[in-house]
Chains A and B, each alone.
Chain A
Amino acid sequence: MKSIKNLLLVDDDEIFTYLTRKTIEETKLVDEIKVLGNGQDAIDFLEEVAKNEELLPEVILLDINMPILDGWGFLEEFILLKPHLEKAITIYMVTTSISPHDYERAKSISEVSDFVIKPVTKSGFINMLKNASVE
């Protein structure tokens, strides 16, 4: 199985990012995990490495509820940024939301590959990452 070089985790919940990082590391499917606390930081980072294929993530795990710029805000900016990126990026929304409104909204955005409800188990991550690498 092809491993993922860069994965970006965008979430403000420190406990969650700490545990997720641990879980993903255990799968040994990802070389490098980067964590950013809100959408604005993530956009800033992507703009910075837009032309750098080495640093651009293949997968983004995106939370919805975040300060400064939330997941939806990030997606709006990402759509504008996307044509300037050197690499195709798979985005998973990883959220605590069980609201059908959020689910419907995520489905309507083509950049979002899947909508995953927290908590995410190890096997859940494995499936997600496998699918991402296939894409």
Chain B
Amino acid sequence: MEEGSNTRFTPGSLENAYQQALDKTSIVAITDAQGRITYVNDKFCEISEYAREELIGKNHNILKSGYHDRDFYKDLWGTIKKGEVWMGQIKNKTKHGGSYWVQTTIVPMMGEDNQPLQYLSFRIDITAQKMSEEKLEKSWKQLNILAENFPNGSVSLIDPELNLLLTGGAGYDAVDFAPEDVIGKTLDSVLSPQTYAYIKEHLPRILRGETITHEIYARNRHYMNTYKPVYDEGGVLYGFVMVVIDVSESKKASLILKRNNELFAIGEELAQIGSWNVNASTREIIFSSNTLRLLGQDPCRTNRSFEEVFQWIHPDDRHSLTDGFREIVSQKILEFPEFRVIKPDGEERVFKSLCKKDLSSNDDEIHVFGVLKDITDRKKKELELLESKEILSNIADSIPGLVMKYVEYGKEEAKIQYVSKGAEMLWEVPKEKILLDVSIVWNKVHQDDLPGFLKSFSKARSTQTVWNCEFRIVMDDGRVKWVNAIGTPKKVQGQGVLWDILALDVSARKLAEENIEKNLRLVTFQNTQLLDFCNIVSHNLRSPLVNMSMLIGFIEESEDESERMEYVAKLKPVIEGLNETFEELVESIQIQQDNEVKSEYIDVEECLRKIISGFEGQIAHSNALIEADFSQVPVLYYPPKYLSSILHNLISNALKYHSPNRRLKVKIKMSRLSHKVLLTITDNGLGIDLKKHQNNLFKIRKVFHRHPDAKGFGLYITKAQVDAMKGRIWAESIPDKGSTFFVEFNNQ
């Protein structure tokens, strides 16, 4: 421009001035119709790096860079040959192999034949502009490559009007359109409605410069989207970048992890256990929330310092707990001693903790994982069980009898698990001895009761039913106790039979029962006697009275004196009969009431001899044979009056009721049966039909034979005497064969 400033404009040289101006601003060249260079200005030489002389006369294609194709030149030449102006951008080659871009205008100068004579070309250097364009294009290409290869999602560049400028990524594999299809389109045609809505909503924030990240669920996948504003070099907002990452897999994994953690927490809650985890080096304990709940602490604050946790522990247990932890760290034990925790509300609970040292931990960083259980209730139950066991044992000991629990192994072996204190009193054996050998208990059972005892015991064992048995036990000094035992057998797999046995002293009850039985017998006996008495009154006393009253009635009504005398005469035997019966009754009542009657030792032989002598006449008359055998019992302890009466009556009967068809034989014998003596008097006389007369045999005024002397008193009085001495009398008889009378004497 220095040169220009020196230029003076003169009228008439306008043409010249244009040329000068052109020369200064443009690269100018003139070629002939064949393209040979005829003129170049300085700028031409400068840019092409050729000297003018090197260019003049040369064809213009010396500068051809090879960048443009044939069509390009064809178009150029076609245009200018027709005489039209061609404008375009051409890349040329410098002398030294460089290149430059020029904005070119070629003006053909036509001759009169309308053929071009020469061509004028004006060029402006646009190399710099062209170079930056190329650079930009390359950048876009690289960006596209980057976008296309974005894995696991997509990346996009978006302008503030939400047009997609650039996009790509593996995420497009999942959709039915390609990145090329959507570039230039607005986001609503590409994104899911909810994503688009989200962006619309948050766009102002993005454009203000915020980076926003959010998660969305679309097309059955989880995505994490990030929007970040971008600025150009000058700091002007250009748009924003959207990065979409498919997080479905990691989401799934984290969901599973979360679920597992939840399940673990539920498990802890259900099991009422807690877990913890210690980092010995950081002196920190991480608790599960359930652990904190069990400890009565805030379940949300999971990380606690040693010092804080230490305060929760009962002061008396702190020492043993820290000792325990030290040993766990040195891997000596895996279990803490039980310890108490005082909850914030003051409640004291007992805990037990098991733990394991993480073997992967090194000495610098020791990790211990453990579980924790509240055992307060269990401890309490254990204590209660212990107490109730003690109570039961106290109760059992206070029972005045034997309470025993023992196991039978096989046939011979047995082991006592428990025996009460009361056993000593009943069995009169020290408890310790019983514990050593159960046979001490059963060996005391009375010999007579043993068969029944063993039978019922083994039956209960085999049928697994309750055993109940009453038996006697014999003490060392010979005293006898009655025992009632109840036992429950229970088969225990692999152990044998478990017996629970309770045995009580029932001697007093037995005695009472015996008394009752005795009294019952007495009452029954007396009742029978009363009934007999009623019968006697009804029949034996009333009949003479009835007769008397009837006779008196007849006497009163009779008008005939002789008839009256006849009735009076009949009164006499009636009154005599009544008197006789009355005397007999008195006699029998005397026997029943006679407490004074005294037993004596009687020479039986002598007694019999006296009686027989009384019957001499009858014996001689019937030619009876009487045999007596008192060899077993020569002496009997009995009231003499009764014995002679009994013998007299029975022998008298035998003589009275002898058979006319055979010689009478009477056998009299006394035999001894331990403490009793049995008298038998057997005859071969008429006999009695006992089927008919069994019940009346010993009743007063009952006769069974048509014998003039039969009165029905002998057997009655005999029975009264036998009964009075607590003995028994009975008979066996076959009609026309004979009878045997039995008399049993007690206390001999």
Contacts and interface: CB of A to CB of B under 8 A. Distances in A.
Interface stretch (B265-273, B373-381, B548-556, B586-594): B548-556
Contacts of B540: 65
Contacts of B550: 15-16, 19, 118-119
A97 interface: yes
Interface in B563-595: 570, 573-574
Interface residues of B, number: 30
A18 B542 CA distance: 17
Interface string B190-215: 00000000000000000000000000
Say whether chain A's binding surface is mostly helix, strand, loop, or mixed: loop
Contacts of B570: 15, 18
Interface stretch (A27-35, A68-76, A78-86): A68-76
Given A15-B547, A96-B539, A118-B542, A70 B696 contact: yes
Contacts of A69: 692
B319 interface: no
B707 to A, nearest CB: 9
A99 B538 CA distance: 6
Contacts of B542: 96-98, 118
B543 A16 contact: yes
Contact of A68 (B534, B535, B538, B705): B705
B546 A96 contact: yes
A71 B692 CA distance: 12
Contacts, number: 69
B703 A19 contact: no
B559 to A, nearest CB: 14
Interface string A7-40: 0000001011011001000000000000000000
B538 A98 contact: yes
A62 B112 CA distance: 196
B539 A97 contact: yes
A65 B701 contact: yes
Interface in B516-534: 531, 534
A68 B539 contact: no
A17 to B, nearest CB: 10
B569 to A, nearest CB: 11
A16 B531 contact: no
Nearest to A64: B539
Contact of A96 (B543, B702, B703): B543
B619 interface: no
A101 interface: yes
A48 interface: no
A16 B544 CA distance: 9
Interface string A35-77: 0000000000000000000000000000011011110010000
Given A65-B701, A67-B704, A67-B712, A16 B538 contact: no
Contacts of B538: 65, 95-99, 102
A122 to B, nearest CB: 9
B535 A99 contact: yes
Nearest to A69: B692
Contacts of B531: 99, 101
A68 B704 contact: yes
Contacts of B539: 64-65, 95-97
Contacts of A118: 542-543, 546, 550
A19 B555 CA distance: 11
A61 to B, nearest CB: 14
Interface residues of A, number: 23
A135 to B, nearest CB: 26
A47 to B, nearest CB: 16
B710 A67 contact: yes
A93 to B, nearest CB: 12
Contacts of B537: 98
Contacts of B573: 15
A15 B574 contact: yes
A13 B547 contact: yes
B554 A67 contact: no
Nearest to A121: B553
B479 interface: no
B609 interface: no
B531 to A, nearest CB: 7
Contacts of B701: 65
A16 B547 contact: yes
Nearest to B693: A73
A70 to B, nearest CB: 7
A119 B550 CA distance: 7
Contacts of A97: 535, 538-539, 542
Contacts of A68: 703-706
B540 to A, nearest CB: 8
A65 B704 contact: no
A97 to B, nearest CB: 4
A74 to B, nearest CB: 10
B565 to A, nearest CB: 15
B554 A19 contact: yes
Contacts of B692: 69, 73
Contacts of A19: 547, 550-551, 554
Most buried by B among A16, A67, A97, A102: A67
Contacts of A64: 539
Interface of A: 13, 15-16, 18-19, 22, 64-65, 67-70, 73, 95-99, 101-102, 118-119, 121
7 contacts: A67-B703, A67-B712, A68-B705, A96-B542, A97-B538, A101-B534, A102-B538
Per CB-CB distance, the 5 closest pairs between chain A and chain B, nearest first, are A96-B542, A97-B538, A67-B703, A65-B539, A15-B547
